[in-house]
Structures are given as C-alpha cells and as structure tokens.
A and B are shown apart, each in its own frame.
Chain A
Amino acid sequence: MNRRTFLKKTSATLPFIWGLPSFAISHASFFENISLQGPYQDRVLVLIQLEGGNDTLNTIIPLHQYPVLQRVRKNIIIPENKILLPKATVGFGFHPSMAGLQRLYDDKLLSIVHGVGYPDPDFSHFKGTDIKITANIAKGEGSDHCLSGWVGRYVESQYEGYPTGFPKKTGDGPPAVRIGNVSPKITSGNTVDLGIGFNDLSDFESLAPDFPDSPAFRTLGGQHVTDITSVVKRVKHYIPGITSAVGRQKNLSKLYPERKKNLLADRLKLVASLIGGDLRSQIYIVNQTGYDTHGDQVLRTDTTKGLHADLLRDLSEAIVAFQDDLRLMGKLDNVLGMTFSEFGRRIVSNESCGTDHGTVEAVFMFGTRLQKSFVGDLPALPEMPTVNDNMVYHTDFRAVYASVLKGWFGLPEEKIKTILPTAPPERLDLFRS
C-alpha cells in the first residue's frame, strides 16, 4: 500500500468509536441551552473565509464601469461576452466560473452586499484578517491587542458561563465549530475559546486515554499544563455529539465534487451533515485559501481561466452543493451563509496578470430568507484609476455583522452594542421575517 491508498483508507473509515447515540434526541427545541427565542432559535450561521483577499472586480463585474476596467486591467479582464448576466438587469455580472451562484441569485437565494469595507483600510493580510475577525479597526500603538473575535463574543453572550456546565447534555454541540485552518481567535470570547476546531473526523480517531490530572503549578509552564488539560477535556466532551450527528445524517446531495478535489466543498459537506444531524452548534466557520493572486490570477491566453477562475468555481460549486444538501435534509430555511475576505484587490492590475492588495470586498450571503439580492451600491471607480487608487467602501463590515446579529439571530440592540461596540448605527434590511 502506498501513501495514497493509505490516505484513502483512513478517510473512508469513519471513526464511530464512540458508537451511535443511545439517547433519544428531543427536537422540541434545537438550541435549548441558549437564549435565542421564538423564530430565531433554530438558526445557524455558516461563515466562509476567503483567505488572501478576493478580487471583487473580477468576481462581480460592474458593467457600467467596464470601459474603465478595460483600460486598467486589460490583461486580466473577463471578455464582456463571457460575463454571466443575472436575469434581472442589475448593472453587474458574474465571473464565468460562477454559473451556480448566478442561478442562486436568479432564484433569490443569494444576495450580494456590495462595497464592504471600513475607514483607513489596512493592506496587510494579517492586520486585515485580524480586523475582520475581531471587528476592531483600531490601529497604531496597542492596536494588536484585541483579544477576542466577534463570533466568540456573540456566542459568549448566548452560552452564559461557558465552559462551566457545558455541554448541558451528551450530544450537544460546541457553541461554534471551525473546520479547516481557521484561526481560533474568531471564536475566542473574552476569557475562553468557544469553538472546537478540526480538519475532518479522522482527527478524532485516536484520542488520548484518560489520566489523572497533575497539580496546578503557578508558573507559566504550570498554566500551560492546566490549559492543555482543560482543552483536551473540553474537546472530548463534544466529540460524541459531533460524531453521532454525522452518523445520524448522511449527505444527500449528488452535487458535491469528488472528495479532495474541492476542499471547501469537503468542509461544507461535513458542516451540512452536522447541521442535518442536529448538532447543536450555532456558528460554523470554514475557509478557502489561495485568493492572494498577485501573479497568474488568469491565464495569459484566456482570462476566464487560471487561479482565480478555479477558486471561484470551487466556491460556487461548494455553495450550490451545500444548499442542495440542506434543502434535501429539510434544513435550508434554518441556515444563512456568508463570506468574508481580509480585503479586495487593486483596481489596476499588475504586469504579472495579477492584482495587488486593495480595499473593498463584496460579501455573498446565501439562504432562503434573504430580503433582497442587491444590497449597497456598486463601488464607484475613478475615471482614470492609477496604480495606487482603491475603491471606497459604502458599507461598513461591522454594520453587516450587526445586521446579521439583529436580523438573523434577533439579537436586541443593547446586546449588539456589547459585541460590536464600534459598529456604525445603520442596519441593513437583509432578511424576510
């Protein structure tokens, strides 16, 4: 057996070492351990992090700006006749790799929030990512010192006292789940990480045996020993719930690509069966890497192909299969999806058929309860953009987060203020009730 067959073998053997659950799951209330009320209590948010900074202008192409773009991104622009146009005339079209998302758009299952950014944007991947996951844009001295993520602060407000007393019963999910290499910072609250992160279920195959605890030393190393012990315990508490949720609900969609061909699809597929299997987790975060397309973003010979086209195709196919799966599971109405990226890219392309770091991103949201498909304005471009020009944002990303907390989870304003203290006051009308 060579390495490849080993990989196949291990991935095919799902680790149901804890066995299937012997207890009956009560479906009366999905999230009985948290404080969401009424129509909001079964709702789930799935975040997709597009790592590297997505080139918005080649993803959602503003048609009225096409002549400008033709001048300044000649070597990467998508030919006008290849742009996918939505049924309704909306002034923009989709990258040709995104036929699936265009259909979702036409069916009112996808909405795009245009022109999302924040004042005085940062062009560093790391600071940019930090800003998006902490929702703290402060810069300069001490600015690196935001300790928690916005997701972490939100779930912290819902799971009072966590981790003490959680999970309330075997089978409950963690407050948040990260799949792939998503930074734990996004799910960290003010005192503790409220997320559980893993790559796939094979991670759980052989977990540590139980053993007696060591006494706590009051040194840094002693603190680490205590932390390690408690993290291992916390993870172990949630594994039965995670594995049995997957055991309860097989994936039903036939639209998923072959395993390992599209990592994002693999991750969303796992999320779908966790949601379908009634794992009680409120937020899932997955990631797709590779958007830092400084060079060879497109093929020189055909700008509809290349790195970016592959990424957008993977994104589109993954979301479509995920939505199809949720629909077949009867969970589609409960789930909202949303993308985020550390920034968009420069208006003017570079010589290497790529784009450098820019500012504004377009946020995709998908689900059945979306109010309208077109939110915000298409970003305005200067008449004659130079290499240093960037798009100016219309919608603050913190206002988007706040609007999701308000509209999707029904969170009252006073709570939103504690989670997103610096969010501007405007709220987007994103959802149908």
Chain B
Amino acid sequence: MSTLKSLFIASLAAGRLTGNGIQYVTIILLVTVFICSACNLLIPESSAFHVSTYTITLLGKYLCFALLALSVDVIWGYCGVLSLGHGTFFALGGYGIGMYLMRQIGDRGVYGNPDLPDFMVFLNWDTLPWYWYGMDQFWIAIVVAVAVPGLLAFVFGWLAFRSRVTGVYFSIMTQALTYALMLAFFRNEMGFGGNNGLTDFKELLGFDIQSNATRVALFLSTALLLIAALYLSRYIMKSRFGRIIVSIRDGESRTRFLGYMTNHYKVWLFVYSAALAAIAGILYVPQVGIINPGEFSPINSIEVVVWVAVGGRGTLYGAVIGALLVNYAKTKFTALMPDGWLFALGALFVGVTVFLPDGIAGYLENSARALQAKADLDNTSEDSLSKDGTSKDNNPKDKPTEEVTP
C-alpha cells in the first residue's frame, strides 16, 4: 500500500505538478460523470446500479459550486485578492438565466398572463420593466447574465484597484457589496420577485426542465464547462498575463515599478473571475429550480472561500476538490446531525487556516516534492535540478505575501 502511495506521489512529482493535478481531476470527473449519466438514463430504476435523478441534480449542484470555487481561486490563489463577494456574481448570473426561465413560463403561470411573470401580476404591475425586455431570448439572456456581473466586476474592480484598496479592505468592501445587493434584491420594487425570488420554472430551450434527459444534459454540460474553465484558467495562468498576475501577488509594488500597470491586470482578472462565477450561477439555477436573494448573503460567499482554502489555493484543481469534498460533507452532515454542521464548518475554517494553510492540494504537492527531493538526493542526478526549476513557477508553496495596510 505504502509503495503504491509513494508511486502515486512520485508520479505526481515526476511531471509538471499542477498540470498533472488538473489532468487527474479531469479524468476522474469525466469518468464519473459519464458513468453516472449512463446509469441514470440506460439502467432501469429497479436496478441496484441505477443512479437517481436526485443524485444527478445533487452532483450537478456540486459541479456548479466547483466552478464557483475555481473562479475564487483564480483571483485569490493567483493574485492574492480575497473576494468575499463572489456570491454576488454567481447570484447575478443566476438571476439572468432565471429571468429567461420566467419568461419561458408564458401563460402557464398561476395568473395565466402571457407577458408578465406571476409576481408582477401579483404586485399589480401593468408592463414589463425595461430590463426584462429581450430576456425571453436564450442567447440574449446568457449574454446579459455574463455581461452584467462582468460589468459590475469591472466597475467595482476599477474603482477599488485604482485607489489601491487592497488586502482586507478589499475583502470587506466586497462583502459590503454583496450585502447591499442582498438588501436591494429583497425589495419587491426591484422587479426580481423580492423575497421569493424567481422559481416555478417550466422549460429550458423548449425542453421540460423536470425531465431526466434535461437534467442529465445540464449535468453533462456543467461538467464539460467546468473542465473547459479549468483548462482555460490554466492557459491564462501559464501565459504572460498569468505570470504578471502571480508577480503582482508576490510583490505588487515591485511589479509596478518594473513598468506594469498592475491595476489593469487585476481588473481584467477580476472580470474573468466574475464571468466564471456568473456561468456557475447560470448552470446552477436551472438545476435547483430557484434563485432568491439568499444567494447574495455574505456567508455564502465566505463559504466558497473555505472550499478553496480546504482544496488548496493557487492550484485550480484544488478548488474543485475542495468544493466537492466540503459540499459532500455538508450534505451528509446536515442529514445526520443538522446542528453539527456549523460546528464542523467553523472548525474547518480554523483548522485549515492554522494547520493546513496550503490545503489538500498543497499537502499532496508538498509531500510529492519532499519525496522528489529525497529521490533526487538518492540519485543526485543532474537533470532533476532543471525539473525543479520549471515547476517553480507554479509553486503554490511560495506563500503569497499580502500587503498589510496598517
């Protein structure tokens, strides 16, 4: 067993570390997702190997969370900017697709109004608010659902980074942002269904949203988009842009003095991250069937951060692992002992930050590196040095040195 483990770790260490991590995660994801989908669609319900639609939806939800965690990792892990408001972008994306789904209900609502969603009829509104126009077209809705959070991230990031709001200040401002939006969306006058949010969806692109096939399709597309996002993020982080981002994390002033407009890099990364979060929201809402202002609550955003911290930040695949693990634990925990979950989550926050600052991925890679170093020492081979040099760039072990503003 121990040889198997060391073999596994050695194989991890042998290549370029992060790349391999992503490949492993991708392979595991693809295999699981396809097996689950096949078991749901092809195997009859009576069989023991049947995977229920409930499970599919649950797994789909986890994958959405994984994408959200990935979006946080991109900005926190690689740029050292901790956003406690990523739930904002997630929820805005969700509201975007929610508006489309509401319009698709048409006259099948309780009040049977072909144009107005039920809650508007209930509030005695006569006409559709201007921002609801065009949301009955799928592609317009998708573009809006990604563009609006992106624009918000651009404006917010531009304002914040331009005046060099960094570190905890930025975190608290983002938390205030999501809190303010939560309060705003709770108001009926906003035209987003107030407290109840948007729900009671019927169909997506003409397919019944409750049917097995649609669920599986959503699940599969979530998985594929997550993998695409993983590879795109890795591509970006390996590009020139990504290297500058990492250098901003490790020494912003120095990077600025070298002639880079660090603000611009940070803003665009923030926009990219917000867009990923929005896509996660777009995928999330059709699967769970509801979006309400609760998604904006600050605790949701902070929970995402802990997924990333558990998985290991600055590794991309670590965020995915963390999100899946913590959410699985949450589902199990809340079912077994509902009171215990917050204790466990709280302990997780404390434990990970104090004892496991690099998360699971960091732990794995560190052990791999230690093993590698031991092997190198044994072999004293020449070329291991150069390997070590290449892996240095994405080395998550190097602690980001956050600038502390007193």
A binds B: no
